[in-house]
A and B are shown apart, each in its own frame.
Chain A
Amino acid sequence: RKEVEQDPGPFNVPEGATVAFNCTYSNSASQSFFWYRQDCRKEPKLLMSVYSSGNEDGRFTAQLNRASQYISLLIRDSKLSDSATYLCVVNNNDYKLSFGAGTTVTVRA
Chain B
Amino acid sequence: AQSVTQPDARVTVSEGASLQLRCKYSSSVTPYLFWYVQYPRQGLQLLLKYYSGDPVVQGVNGFEAEFSKSNSSFHLRKASVHWSDSAVYFCAVRIASSSFSKLVFGQGTSLSVVP
Query: Do the two chains belong together in a single complex?
Result: no
Interface residues of A (CB under 8 A from B): none
Interface residues of B (CB under 8 A from A): none
